Structure 1
Amino acid sequence: MDPILIIVLVFGLFLFLACFFTVKQQTSVVIERFGKFQSIRNSGLQLKIPVIDRIAGRVNLRIQQLDVIIETQTKDNVFVKMKVSVQFKVIQENVYEAFYKLEYPHDQITAYVFDVVRAEVPKLILDDVFVRKDDIAIAVKRELNEAMMAYGYDIINTLVTDIDPDIQVKNAMNRINAAEREKVAAEFESEAQRIRIVAKAKAEAESKRLQGQGIADQRREIAKGLVESVEVLNSVGINSQEASSLIVVTQHYDTLQAIGADSNSNLILLPNSPQAATDMLNNMVASFAASNQIGEQMKRQNKRLKNSDDKTSLDYNPNDTSQPE
């Protein structure tokens, strides 16, 4: 075969294959003819004239994200670094404007973000920057939409993803937060301590009241028991004085027996001699006798005073005119 024919066939095959090209999904291709805009081709298999038409560029139609880090100053003279994430895409109907009107879209978007953030943040103090970061993001999106729409770009969303104050300011803020939390903790601890003290005082008061009531009930029952014992002894011919003496002696020996039952007790009851009960009984009998004598004397004296008063009232008659004035 003729070599020239082979070259012509190969060149023809190359030109035929150069007529076809593919465009990926979510991508647009700009075609130029002799350096002049010819058409925009979308996804799929496309056809162009070899040598005459050429692919000038490919435009991505997917959503893109640009992170912009800005250092600015707040109203209270605190320097902060802010990270603003801008999500944008090329409008499919405006691929021509996006490709030919704007050469460096990322630089353009970054410039607008810097301008808006450095205009909004100096109006706010540091605490408000954290609280109103969404307002800053909305202001950035509004400004970018107005500027970038003419270039075929749509701003999907803007987010303030990070606010980083100076390290000294962060340390001071952490100390303030720590102090506030310690203050709240101290207040709660004080309140808990007060509640514990009040509860303990109430419990002690209730315990004292119940203890006093128990002692009073105990003494009341003891008195009732003594009265019943005396009544029983009286019923068998033992008078009250002898019954009281017998009860005292019985309680004395019961006490000695209770003390002796405890092997570990160090208590010593004084006096503890065999004559102690006899002495105690004699003393009680003497006391009761003296008490009875004093009572009889007081009764006789009161009776004489009463008789004297009655006689005086009978001798004196206010209607008797014969009495000397």
Structure 2
Amino acid sequence: MGQLLCCVQVEQSTVAIRERFGKFDDVLEPGCHCLPWLLGSRIAGHLSLRLQQLDVRCETKTKDNVFVNVVASIQYRALAGKASDAFYKLSNTRLQIQAYVFDVIRASVPKLNLDDVFEQKNDIAKAVEEELEKAMSAYGFEIVQTLIVDIEPDEHVKKAMNEINAAARLRVAANEKAEAEKIIQIKRAEGEAESKFLSGLGIARQRQAIVDGLRDSVLGFSVNVPGTTAKDVMDMVLVTQYFDTIKDIGAASKSSAVFIPMVLGLFVTSLARSGMACSKLMRNS
């Protein structure tokens, strides 16, 4: 109806390409326009100025021979000032963009190892954007942004990567556990050493107290009982200790000590007669 009335309406965010007798004539902005078809004018087509997005899935391999699928998201739009170039110069804009994306990705990814591809995906996206911007600007299109939205290795590769990561974490956990056990053993050994030191110190003090007590007993007995010698006092003390030892052994129901009275008595008497120190006698008894 509009063609019959020589009028045409162009929608918002869209431009129309007007031709006269098959030749480009003008770009019609959004709104209502007069189109004298009797003079050979006609609308060749419409061109959207809205932002469009194209997702490109490209399969390639990395430097370490791992095949991956790289998914790039290209956001682009036609320039109103170059609408005629965008309409006439390209027959299929999306296929043209896809071809450039394939070319850049397959030239960039094979130079990187798999781990580097994940780390440098922004650099890959920047390289794709620069190449597309340089190429598509001549055709009247603007590349707004390029994103690498996904990098998908083979399932077996992903499983292997997960296993490597899990093994590394288990190794770190094992090292930490070993260090903890090492610290515990060191602290336990330090505690045992300190305990033995204090135990030895207590035994030494005990024996010193016994020696001091025996010395005081010998001196006191010699003073209070005239005519007695130190030997007499020591013999009496040893006999007393001898009976105390027998009593302690008999009181224990599960004692594993072997006590030989005659040999021990002869041994003690021999030591007493040789005049050895009282502390040595007490330790051997």
Q: TM-score when scaled to structure 1?
A: 0.64
SS in 2 for 1:157: strand
Residue ranges of structure 2 left out of the alignment (5+ in a row): 276-285
Q: Which residue does the alignment assign to 1:208?
A: 196
Q: Distance in 1 between matches of 2:191 and 2:8?
A: 97
Distance, in Å, in 1 between the alignment partners of 2:221 and 2:15 is: 130
- Structure 1: state its 5+ residue gaps: 1-10, 293-325
Aligned-residue offset at 1:139: 1.4
Classify the secondary structure of the residue corresponding to 1:146.
Answer: helix
Instruction: Output the CA distance in 2 between the equivalents of 1:55 and 1:235.
Output: 144
> 2:233 corresponds to which residue?
243
| Equivalent position of 1:136 in the other structure | 124
Instruction: Note the C-alpha offset of 1:176.
Output: 3.8
3-state SS in 1 of match to 2:81: helix
Shift of 1:141: 0.9
Deviations 1:268-325 (A, max 9, x none): 88879xxx8xx99x97996588558xxxxxxxxxxxxxxxxxxxxxxxxxxxxxxxxx
**1:124-162 CA deviation, whole Å, 9 max, x = no partner?**
333333333222222111110001112222212222222
Q: 1:30 matched to which residue of 2?
A: 16
Q: 1:193, CA displacement in angstroms?
A: 4.2
Partner of 2:133: 145
**SS state at 2:90 partner:** coil
Is residue 27–residue 84 contact of structure 2 (8 Å, CA) maintained in 1?
Answer: no
Q: Is the counterpart of residue 87 in structure 1 residue 72 in structure 2? A: no
- Contact 1:87/1:157 (CA < 8 Å) preserved in 2? yes
Tell me, yes or no, if the aligned pair for 2:82 and 2:140 is still in contact at 8 Å.
yes
Q: For 1:57-109, what per-residue CA distance to the aligned partner results, in whole angstroms no more than 9, with x for missing partners?
A: 55443433211111113333332211111122233433343334334221111
Deviates more, 1:110-119 or 1:188-197: 188-197
**Aligned mates of 1:258, 1:146 — CA distance in 2:** 105
Deviations 1:101-122 (A, max 9, x none): 3342211110110111122223
Counterpart mapping for 1:108-187 below 5 A: 108-187=96-175
Trace 1:258-297 onto structure 2 (pairs within 5 A): 265-267=253-255, 291=274
> Cα gap change, 1:285/1:109 in structure 2, threshold over 3 Å: closer, same or farther?
closer
Q: 1-side partners of 2:179 and 2:267: how far apart?
A: 59
Distance 2:137 2:83 in 1: 12
Deviates more, 1:238-247 or 1:128-137: 238-247
After superposition, the Cα gap between the structure-2 partners of 1:55 and 1:210, relative to the gap in structure 1 and judged at 3 Å, is farther
Q: Is the 8 A contact 2:74 2:143 kept in 1?
A: yes
Aligned partner of 1:228 among 212, 216, 221: 216
The whole-number CA distance in structure 2 between the counterparts of 1:289 and 1:96 is 128
Larger Rg: 1
Check 1:215–1:55 CA distance in 2 against 1; reply closer, same or farther (3 A cut): farther
Tell whether the 8 Å contact from 2:54 to 2:74 is kept in structure 1 after alignment: yes
Partner Cα separation in structure 2 for residue 141 and residue 56 of structure 1: 31
User: Matched residue of 1:83: which SS?
Assistant: strand
Give the corresponding residue for 1:309: none
Deviation at 1:249, TM superposition (A): 4.8
User: Is the Cα contact below 8 Å between 2:231 and 2:272 reproduced in 1?
Assistant: no
Structure number with higher relative contact order (C-alpha < 8 Å, ≥ 6 residues apart): 2
Assess, with a 3 A threshold, how the Cα gap between structure 1 residues 39 and 211 changes in structure 2: closer, same or farther.
Answer: same
TM-score, normalised by the number of residues in structure 2: 0.71
Is the contact made by 1:81 and 1:165 (CA closer than 8 Å) also made in structure 2?
A: yes
Say if 1:30 and 1:41, in contact at 8 Å, map to a contact too: yes
Corresponding pairs, count:
268
Letter in 2 for 1:216: A
Name the CA distance, whole Å, in 2 between partners of 1:124 and 1:268.
77
Task: Evaluate the alpha carbon distance shift between residue 37 and residue 80 of structure 1 in structure 2; reply closer, same or farther with a 3 A threshold.
Answer: same
Is 1:86–1:155's contact at 8 Å kept on the other side of the alignment? yes
1:70 aligns with 2:58: yes
Q: CA RMSD in A?
A: 4.2
- Offset, 1:37: 4.2
